[in-house]
Amino acid sequence: MEKVLVTGGAGFIGTNLVKYLNSQGCDDIIIADELGTSDKWKNLTELSFKDYIHFKDLNNTFHFDYIFHLGACSSTTETDADYLVFNNYVFSKQLLQDFMHVRKFVYASSAATYGSGKLGFSDRTPINQLKPLNMYGYSKHLFDLYIQRHFNNLDNVVGLKYFNIFGPHESHKENMCSVVYKAVKEIGDTKYLKLFKSGNPNYKDGEQERDFLYVKDAVKFTADLALQPRATGVVNVGSGKAYTWNYLAECIFDAMGVDIDIKYVDMPDNLKDKYQYHTKADVTKLSRLVDNNITDLRSAVKDYVQNYLL
Q: Is residue 195 part of a domain?
A: yes
Q: Is residue 190 part of a domain?
A: yes
Same domain, 93 and 205: no
What is the CB-side half-sphere exposure of residue 17 using CA atoms within 13 A?
A: 33
Same domain, 221 and 97: yes
If we measure between CA atoms, which residue out of 18, 7, 101, 109 comes closest to residue 60? Answer: 101
Give the pLDDT confidence score for residue 242 in this predicted structure.
96
Same domain, 221 and 113: yes
Distance between CA atoms of 51 and 24, rounded to whole angstroms?
Answer: 18
Q: Is residue 202 part of a domain?
A: yes
Q: Is residue 249 part of a domain?
A: yes
Distance between CA atoms of 216 and 160, rounded to whole angstroms?
Answer: 15
Same domain, 110 and 185: no
Q: What is the CATH number of the domain that holds 88?
A: 3.40.50.720
Same domain, 43 and 114: yes
Active site residue 136: yes
Same domain, 148 and 186: no
Distance between CA atoms of 133 and 146, rounded to whole angstroms?
Answer: 19
What is the CB-side half-sphere exposure of residue 5 using CA atoms within 13 A?
A: 28
Taking only the tens place, the pLDDT of each residue in 33-75 is: 999 888 899 999 999 999 999 999 999 899 999 999 999 988 8
Q: Is residue 58 part of a domain?
A: yes
Q: Is residue 306 part of a domain?
A: no
Same domain, 181 and 144: no
Contacts 24+ apart (CB under 8 A), 169-178: 169/12, 169/15, 169/16, 169/43, 169/215, 170/12, 170/215, 171/39, 172/11, 172/12, 172/38, 172/39, 172/40, 172/42, 172/43, 173/12, 173/74, 174/38, 175/75, 175/77, 176/74, 176/75, 176/76, 176/77
List Cβ neighbours of 288 (8 Å cut-off, separation of 6 or more): none
Same domain, 235 and 204: no
The amino acid occupying position 77 is T
Compute and round to an integer the Cα radius of gyration of the chain.
19
Catalytic entry in 3, 42, 93, 173:
173
Q: Is residue 308 part of a domain?
A: no
Same domain, 106 and 203: no
Distance between CA atoms of 85 and 63, rounded to whole angstroms?
Answer: 26
Taking only the tens place, the pLDDT of each residue in 196-245 is: 999 999 999 999 999 999 999 999 999 999 999 999 999 999 999 999 99
Same domain, 222 and 88: yes
Catalytic entry in 107, 136, 214, 304:
136
Q: Is residue 305 part of a domain?
A: no
Q: Which residues pair with 265 in a beta bridge?
A: 196
Same domain, 146 and 258: no
Same domain, 16 and 30: yes
Specify the number of domains making up the chain: 2
Predicted TM-score (pTM) of this structure: 0.94
List Cβ neighbours of 189 (8 Å cut-off, separation of 6 or more): none
Query: What residue numbers bound the domain in which 106 lies?
Result: 4-166+212-240+281-295
Taking only the tens place, the pLDDT of each residue in 155-205 is: 999 999 999 999 999 999 988 999 999 999 999 999 999 999 999 999 999
Taking only the tens place, the pLDDT of each residue in 130-144 is: 999 999 999 999 999
